[in-house]
Amino acid sequence: MNSLAVSLADEMAALVARLQRSLVVLHNGRAGVGAGVIWKRDGLVVTNHHVVAAHRGRSGNRDLRVELFDGRVYPARVVSQDEEIDLALLQVDGAFKDEQNQELPEVQIADVADLRIGEMVMAIGHPWGQRGMVTLGLVSGIFSAKTQGRRGQVEIIRSDARLAPGNSGGPLVDASGRVVGLNTLIIGGDQGMAISGQVINSFVEQSGKVLEQ
């Protein structure tokens, strides 16, 4: 392997390692139910609405916990959700710091306007319960999908990065490691759908305004 290939491989491995530190496992009781990403270092995690909506504890209330990359587990609560665009915002009752007391990285968001058809992307999640797995693919489409609600539509990124149960709520990232979307749906067995990063940012910002009231 030549020096350029070695350098690219090292950079990719380092990028994936950083992203895995921003990835969490969502638990309901003893089971892992999906993925989420550290959106803000103050304890905010973003995931899919369908990940948290379908899983409730014995009392009927959501019994959610967030597991960090190093195995530490903290309780979490849903502070905002939007079924129409399949997003949920969680507040984690714990510090996002590693064993050396260093802050865990919050994700960086890409401008979807700069994303091109054919560009390489990576999906990171926990398919079939396998933690922090990575798959590569190409962007095959960026479009507005119709929704049943007041919004009427939501921006979606379609790629051929292979997804499976457990990828929901995990990030779709570009070659620089910036989040372009949140994986939410598989169609046709080999095409993944991700909610645009701009839609997520808008949802988080609006949620923050509501919480401050």
55-82 tens-digit pLDDT: 554 444 467 899 998 888 899 999 999 9
Q: With 80 as the cut, is the pLDDT of residue 189 above it?
A: no
| Side chain identity, residue 128 | W
Torsion of CA 165, 135, 181, 113, to 10 degrees: -150
Cβ-based neighbours of 138, under 8 Å, separated by 6 or more:
118, 119, 120, 121, 159, 160
> 7 pLDDT band (50/70/90 cuts)?
confident
Q: Which domains can be identified in the chain, with CATH numbers?
A: 3-92 (2.40.10.10), 112-204 (2.40.10.10)
Over residues 6-11, the mean pLDDT reads 84
Over residues 34-38, the mean pLDDT reads 94
Selected residue with higher pLDDT from 102 and 153:
153
Q: How far apart are CA 65 and CA 51, in angstroms?
A: 12
Q: What pLDDT sits at residue 5?
A: 76
Tell me how far CA of residue 43 lies from CA of 46, 95, 128, 160, 173, in angstroms: 10, 7, 26, 31, 21
Q: How far apart are CA 152 and CA 162, in angstroms?
A: 28
Q: Are 183 and 164 in contact (CB under 8 A)?
A: no
Q: With 60 as the cut, is the pLDDT of residue 212 above it?
A: no
Q: With 90 as the cut, is the pLDDT of residue 117 above it?
A: yes
Q: With 90 as the cut, is the pLDDT of residue 210 above it?
A: no
Cβ-based neighbours of 200, under 8 Å, separated by 6 or more:
39, 46, 87, 109, 179, 181, 182
Q: With 60 as the cut, is the pLDDT of residue 95 above it?
A: yes
Tallying the residues shown for the chain, one arrives at 213
Q: Are 19 and 177 in contact (CB under 8 A)?
A: yes
- CB crowding 56-79: b at 16 or more within 10 Å, else e: eeeeeebebbbbbbeeeebebebb
Q: What pLDDT sits at residue 213?
A: 46
**Residues taking part in catalysis:** 50, 86, 168
Residue among 168, 164, 165 nearest 194 (CA): 168
pLDDT in tens, 137-176: 999 999 999 888 888 899 999 999 999 999 999 999 999 9
Share of the chain above pLDDT 90, in %: 60
Selected residue with higher pLDDT from 194 and 27:
194
Q: What pLDDT sits at residue 59?
A: 46
Kindly report the average pLDDT of the chain as a whole number: 87
Reading the block at residue 175, the tokens are 């070659």
